[in-house]
Structure 1
Amino acid sequence: MDFEYSDKTKSLLERLNAFMDEHVYPNERRYHQEVEADRWGHPPVLEELKAKAKAAKLWNLFLPDSSHGAGLTNTEYAPLCEVMGRVHFSSQIFNCSAPDTGNIETIERYGTEAQKARWLPAMLDGSIRSAFAMTEPDVASSDATNIQSSIVRDGDDYVINGRKWWISGVGDRHCELLIFMGKTDPGAAKHQQQSMILVPMDTPGIKVLRPMTVFGYDDAPHGHMDMLFENVRVPASNILLGEGRGFEIAQGRLGPGRIHHCMRLIGLAERCLELMCRRVKSRVAFGRPIGEQSVTLERIAESRILIDQARLLTLKAAYMMDTVGNKAARAEIGMIKVAAPNMACKVIDWAIQAHGAAGVSQDFVLANYYAHARKLRFADGPDEVHRNQIGRIELAKYVD
């Protein structure tokens, strides 16, 4: 494996870093101020920066083999995604944020020509956003076959009923589309009961019950919503790929989404390590800088080791996805999905400790970043599910 960045990646990386320095970091405070002023609005600075990113041709970088994006492989995209991860909201600026990335890839890969024509132009242009409705409060959604929401055929329509929660992105007033997962045939084989269907957000019967909070953070204006679907009627032509294909689509959708989370977490952890280093060099306790204390040096060293380990494992997973495909790379994808959030939680926790009481306050991003990293130990499958899969794959190598 050769992890030397391609010339295309090097060029984009230089431009992306310059854009972050000139436009994103200087506007972090303004973004948060605008969110505080209008919790569930749409920060004007975001649209200004999106226009600049589009003009700079730093747009839809996540899309592989597509005329709409940069045509990067997973390995080429990894360092770019890492840079975006350094600021929690910045991936939106480049139209590279979840859940839109996964939804765009899903519609592009599995949608009909009519579905693509209806939704992809606006999603690729960044003028609308989308959400993915799978998780439910009443079942263990780590096993997607448990999902109980129903999608029932009624003439030329499907009627949807159920409750979903942790539906990220619905808080954004530009969210116009849901990809909804539910059961079309509870009597079918276990992995053929589920289907996915496109649901416009303005369809009657959709009710947002409340925003969920993560350690008290509501993640406005993106949000993670608790939602009720009561007799929501959409055309039968909105079904993706056909009845019973939902689990298949989910498996295809989640591979890239999982590794994108890990790429961004590495950038987030790098940012927190930088904040920790700057803090301990400027603070004095017991007569000398905190950075000279042995426990601090050990934590800085361990952070560097953990971040670099996670980066190399992420690159290996990306390389395998590019060369042998997502299915063959499922162990590597699972490993990094466990390793990266755990690494980030540990590094951020040490950064918080180095900041003292200020680290858990609203004056620094660390507490918010910790909440985000901890949440990702559940998103796209909890640690336990991935560890079980990795263990089974490992045991299968040993034949009696």
Structure 2
Amino acid sequence: MSDELYPAVIAPLVSKRAHETLVKVKKFVDEECIPADTIYHEQVSHDPSKRWASVPPIIEELKVKAKKLGLWNMFLHAHYKEGPGFTNVEYGLMAEQLGRCLVASEAVNCAAPDTGNMEVFAKYANEEQKREWLVPLLEGRIRSAFCMTERFTASSDATNIQLSMRREGNEYVLNGRKWWASGAGDPRCKVWLVMGKTDASNPDRYRQQSVIIVPAHHPGSKVIRPTQIFGYDDAPHGHCEIEFTNCRVPAKNIVLGEGRGFEIIQGRLGPGRIHHCMRSIGAAEEALRYILARVTSPERRTFGKVLADHATVKAFIADARIDIDAGRLLVLQAAHAIDVSSAKDAQGLISSAKIYVPSMALRVIDRAIQLHGAGGVSQDFPLAYSYANQRTLRIADGPDEVHRDQLGRRELKRAERTTALLKAQSAEVERLRKQHNIAAKI
């Protein structure tokens, strides 16, 4: 695709308004967000007592600029009255640009986990819950966390979750532990969406779970620690382990009703996986830009040649271009399938994208690191941090193995029909052999 904003083949799917917004998003990322990335990291306090208590000022400055440009909440699909009216394809292209650096998604109020949580509120919450939590999230006044994954069970199967949500009168009592609650370390985080079991004995394993709204740091809850990704703690955002001990939450905070938790998380994760994948495309494109600048630098010469003159380097670049373009089309195909039908009907394409794209991005970023030598793994370039972020996506929102299993089962459903077709074709071959007096091959 090189420097075009999107492949020409999908141009009919992009409205004039979406195109104009995409142009503004790219300009905002190029001119404001990428330079701010370095400042953001430098403004994060190294004092342990302050590291989780303050937010780098530059992010709030970027938010003001983004709002003035009309770049706000683009992720919320056109069928939500609270959203700006873009399709998944259109926002997917914007997410690619946002994925080129750390701060861009938050600057336009399109950062995970808030995007998924806002979609939960918009799709499933009642009007009172929306007023209390969705409105301030949409305005960017607060942030949120999603608490599903658990440390002491295989969370790749969400039916395994153990956190107990027991009804007592007008309250639910929560007991258990969650971890990898991204965003829970942020001082602006005011609400957690927590998934637990309200009916562990239900014979339908997918009706045992519910989702409840818990105000952050509610009595009976305790943030144990932030977990790290390859040594990065992502302060002040954080990925936290949280313990619930007889945490009493009003029953009115249940979302949609008891036993609807699995339905809610599937509705949340489908579009979110596509958002992640498009940001991964952006991260890979940015890594390729670093490659191009590095290998054409006249100061970078090995064995009498500029790096770009080596055949191996050109092969790296060609493979990166192919990988990125293939990934982009796969994700856009999935996004379009959600737009014209639903995330459930697009599940196969979503799984394909979720399997392919993070691994593809890692390959491209790894090539960029290799071509930058020792500098590639240092803090002098954003490549190591980008690699660490992308590596989590092979686990987050369902590990590769789960998506491969689902995709394989989906393909196997075609086996009976395919076998019947092959038999019919073989029979036709035999008929044609007899018709043309050709002896059957042994």
TM range (shorter): over 0.9
Distance in 2 between the 1:311 and 1:167 partners? 28
1:2: Cα distance to partner? Answer: 4.9
1:216: Cα distance to partner? Answer: 0.8
Match status 1:356 vs 2:368: no
Say which SS state the counterpart of residue 3 (structure 1) adopts.
Answer: helix
- Whether contact under 8 Å (1:59, 1:69) holds in the other structure is no
Match of 1:39 in 2: 51
Give the one of 13, 17, 27 matched to 1:18.
27
- Whether contact under 8 Å (2:44, 2:55) holds in the other structure is yes
Map 1:374-393 to 2 at 5 A: 374-393=391-410
- Whether contact under 8 Å (1:60, 1:68) holds in the other structure is no
Distance in 2 between the 1:293 and 1:9 partners? 41
- Whether contact under 8 Å (1:331, 1:390) holds in the other structure is yes
Match of 2:211 in 1: 196
Match status 1:264 vs 2:284: no
Residues 305/2 of structure 1: CA separation in 2 closer, same or farther (3 Å cut): closer
1:382: Cα distance to partner? Answer: 0.1
Distance in 2 between the 1:44 and 1:68 partners? 28
Say which SS state the counterpart of residue 228 (structure 1) adopts.
Answer: strand
1:36: Cα distance to partner? Answer: 4.3
Give the one of 128, 139, 143 matched to 1:114.
128
Q: Read off the aligned partner of 1:10 and give its amino acid letter.
A: H
CA deviation map 1:109-136 (0-9, x unaligned)? 1111111111111000001000000000
CA deviation map 1:230-269 (0-9, x unaligned)? 1111100000111111011111111011110001000010
Match of 1:226 in 2: 241
Long gaps (5+) in structure 1: none
Distance in 2 between the 1:249 and 1:21 partners? 36
Give the one of 280, 296, 309 matched to 2:326.
309
Distance in 2 between the 1:320 and 1:21 partners? 30
Match of 1:300 in 2: 317
Question: Which one is further off, 35-44 or 194-203?
Answer: 35-44
Q: Read off the aligned partner of 1:181 and give its amino acid letter.
A: M
Map 1:109-258 to 2 at 5 A: 109-188=123-202, 189-258=204-273
Say which SS state the counterpart of residue 10 (structure 2) adopts.
Answer: coil
- Whether contact under 8 Å (2:36, 2:103) holds in the other structure is no
- Percent of aligned pairs with the same residue? 52
Give the structure-2-normalised TM-score.
Answer: 0.89
Match status 1:333 vs 2:347: no
Say which SS state the counterpart of residue 211 (structure 2) adopts.
Answer: strand
Aligned residues: 400
Question: Which one is further off, 29-38 or 180-189?
Answer: 29-38
* RMSD between aligned residues: 1.2
- Whether contact under 8 Å (2:63, 2:107) holds in the other structure is yes
- Whether contact under 8 Å (1:103, 1:130) holds in the other structure is yes
Question: Using CA pairs below 8 Å that are at least 6 residues apart, which structure has the higher relative contact order?
Answer: 1
Match status 1:3 vs 2:10: yes
Distance in 2 between the 1:17 and 1:259 partners? 19
Question: Which one is further off, 33-42 or 186-195?
Answer: 33-42
Which structure has the greater CA radius of gyration? 2
Say which SS state the counterpart of residue 24 (structure 1) adopts.
Answer: helix
- Whether contact under 8 Å (2:37, 2:102) holds in the other structure is no
Give the structure-1-normalised TM-score.
Answer: 0.98
Long gaps (5+) in structure 2: 1-7, 420-442
Distance in 1 between the 2:122 and 2:83 partners? 12
Q: Read off the aligned partner of 1:319 and give its amino acid letter.
A: H
